[in-house]
Structure 1
């Protein structure tokens, strides 16, 4: 261990107050009353965690600019997915439906975005010379005589590094085998999403596309892809924008599918990079990719993904 910690403590008397997670509550607007946890000082990245929405990642700023998708939402308690979805960097879809679904299945993209987290840890701590931030919580989607799925989520980051890692342990606490439909809806918006930016993915076959300018009433595009892992077991999807690269890394053993959602509609202009155990029900892909992963009673899986922001080309 070098003297980084002591050199820091010599200059900053209470590191946790400046660098650690900060809890607050939103006032006014579509997210009124929601609990939030701010992760600051991640290099040039700042991320808000949303405990009242499955411990998802909300508003995200890169180099002082809001870069996560911000839809024209009515409010978090509105009657439909389209009116209550607040966007943000990561929205969890599932756990029993992804894509279009009947109300009995939770409706569009399931119920996960309605499930509040029990936050069990929110802290910053030294690990050698690195100051690490961690937010952990527990979420349950279940009903009497139906499924009983429990997710323990850990969000980790390091001070000074513009990356966030999300790892979930998903366990079937019920007593019948159930399908797990889980999709990580990672949402990027303007100014990173703009005409001339490119998105690519390590899939089979390899896939890439150039983004276009917004057009009124332009139909959305949904590409259903099969992830192709490298030797480390991870696949990647990348957005290259002027001056910035955003890379999503995810382990394909648990998340074998990738959906890329492109919305060029004016006012709803966004890019979704979406690793999952399945594709959305409305994606143009084989039905075998939409069934999800079966979990036996007492079985659990651990997913892992990382979102990295960096200057491109490197400064």
Structure 2
């Protein structure tokens, strides 16, 4: 009997980025403040195939933006530190492969792995079904799984500013047409990254909207002993499970098998310009991530704790929002919707600041303490009526 050789040829399908140096979005900009470089490309292979990517390097931070995924920020790198998290999804996942309208309403979770993803625009919270059990509003809405239909780079040599501009339209014939115009801005030599979003109602009738910025931090910032610092004005747990950890609601543990998410709803103190700051920092205060935003348009804040096993997605979320992420009907009853007249635009402004050393963390901590100086926080041990459906 003659033996025959058996052969297997492997083709690695892991996604890779193919950069396009000839793209008009790939450029080197010389400014008076320093140089900024951008690269434009697409993912090839796997679930990321076809996802457009723009990388912006300010000289202090490298920002990776995903226009195909609603202008989300996939990750930020600075001084050798990666700011983001390790999702078991292992994306970025092309929106065509995300079943947003899965009957359960939870299909959004099949594409979730960004540092910053927007939730909205028609709804941004829990799934909502009608009396017949049909899905009306999916988890966290559609905007994070819609592609930008135009991209441009604008820059100013004198100030050292560079903006990546993209527009995403969320629409349905006869029902809605909301245009998100997003600017992601860096300054040459600066660690801060700005998100400047304008939402316009382009129909001839009144519209309502919601928006939440899901800002997600994992290792190495998140670790046992890591802490969220925030200038709390008022705070309440979302549900009974979250209430059980009120004595250490803002402290994070090491990864825990089987950990179930805890969620806390808050309003934050702000300065005379309505700006506030919060941060997640490491246990030894050597690094962190700060978020600064304007509370006049984003009056609510949510902390999402998901300190599960590393393989299950060890992550916490800082979430400035127009409302709390309950079902849309509940938020409507509580008068927490944003109303837009025909042609009206509402603007949202926030920034991310990677904190690369203890000095930067201490400076941010002092800023947060100053915001809290003249206010004693109101802390609820149980869910607050009107804030949560579980109250």
Unpaired runs of 5+ residues, structure 2, are 1-26, 100-106, 129-133, 237-248, 361-391
Comparing 215-224 with 117-126, greater Cα deviation is found at 117-126
Within 5 A, what are the aligned runs for 1:291-306? 291-306=336-351
- Deviation (angstroms), 1:206: 7.2
| 2:215 match | 186
| 2:23 match | none
CA RMSD in angstroms comes to 2.5
Q: For residues 118-139 of structure 1, what are the alpha-carbon distances to aligned partners after superposition, in whole Å with 9 as ceiling and x for unaligned?
A: 2342254412xx4322100111
- Deviation (angstroms), 1:298: 1.9
User: What's the TM-score once normalised by structure 2's chain length?
Assistant: 0.70
Unpaired runs of 5+ residues, structure 1, are 1-13
| 1:46 match | 62
Q: Distance in 1 between matches of 2:126 and 2:39?
A: 36
Comparing 74-83 with 256-265, greater Cα deviation is found at 74-83
- Check conservation: 1:262, 1:272, Cα contact below 8 A: yes
- Check conservation: 2:292, 2:351, Cα contact below 8 A: yes
- Deviation (angstroms), 1:297: 1.9
Q: Distance in 1 between matches of 2:82 and 2:343?
A: 41
Comparing 116-125 with 160-169, greater Cα deviation is found at 116-125
Q: Which has the higher strand share?
A: 1
User: What's the TM-score once normalised by structure 1's chain length?
Assistant: 0.86
Within 5 A, what are the aligned runs for 1:156-235? 156-205=185-234, 209-235=250-276
| 2:76 match | 60
| 1:9 match | none
- Deviation (angstroms), 1:62: 3.0
- Check conservation: 2:78, 2:356, Cα contact below 8 A: no
Q: For residues 18-45 of structure 1, what are the alpha-carbon distances to aligned partners after superposition, in whole Å with 9 as ceiling and x for unaligned?
A: 72221111123432221100011341x2
Q: Does 1:84 align with 2:84?
A: no
Q: Which has the higher helix share?
A: 2
Q: Distance in 1 between matches of 2:124 and 2:59?
A: 31
Note closer, same or farther for the CA distance 1:70–1:29 as it changes in structure 2 (3 Å cut): farther
Q: Distance in 2 between matches of 1:112 and 1:276?
A: 14
Displaced runs of 4 or more, over 6 A: none
